[in-house]
Amino acid sequence: MSDYLDKVNRIPISADLLGEVLDMLRSLPAEERWASGSRSARLFELLERRGLSETADIIAVAIDLRVTALLRLQSADALRGWTSPGGELGANLVHPDLLKAAAAEPLIDEADGEAGFDAASFRLRLLAGAEVYGRA
């Protein structure tokens, strides 16, 4: 793992914060949602409101890499069963267990040079931490 990703992996990001960021992204108009300038500006505003402006740079990078890694898993259909089908990319990434796993799973260097999550490891973390709902 690169030293950079090792540093990013040491930044604690809560599942609540990831959920808040995803909610913020969903609230943006489609043309702004994935434009890096708009997304970054909104992310810094959110971090400032939470009182994290002193460390916002590295926190923003850690959040952006984790959100992007989660979206990459969704694009690769690696989250089947944890997201509802259809809809825009990222629109259905709200399950609390998904957010907990994305906050805790270490980022790795993918073969294409991008940061991501190991799909098998992510699914194991997701299953290990999943809350049981209902009764059979």
pLDDT at 1 over 80: no
pLDDT of residue 5: 93
pLDDT of residue 133: 65
Task: Output phi, psi for 94, to 5 deg.
Answer: -120, -5
pLDDT digits 0-9 by tens, 64-108 = 999 999 989 988 888 877 776 666 655 566 678 889 999 999 999
Residues 89, 110: Cα–Cα separation, whole Å: 20
pLDDT digits 0-9 by tens, 22-40 = 888 888 887 777 777 778 8
Alpha-helical regions (H) of 76-107: 96-104
Q: Taking the chain, what is the end-to-end CA distance rounded to the nearest angstrom? A: 42
CB-based burial, 35-58: b 16+ in 10 Å, e otherwise: eeeebeebbbebbeeeeeeeebee
pLDDT digits 0-9 by tens, 47-59 = 999 998 888 899 9
Element (H, E) at 136: none
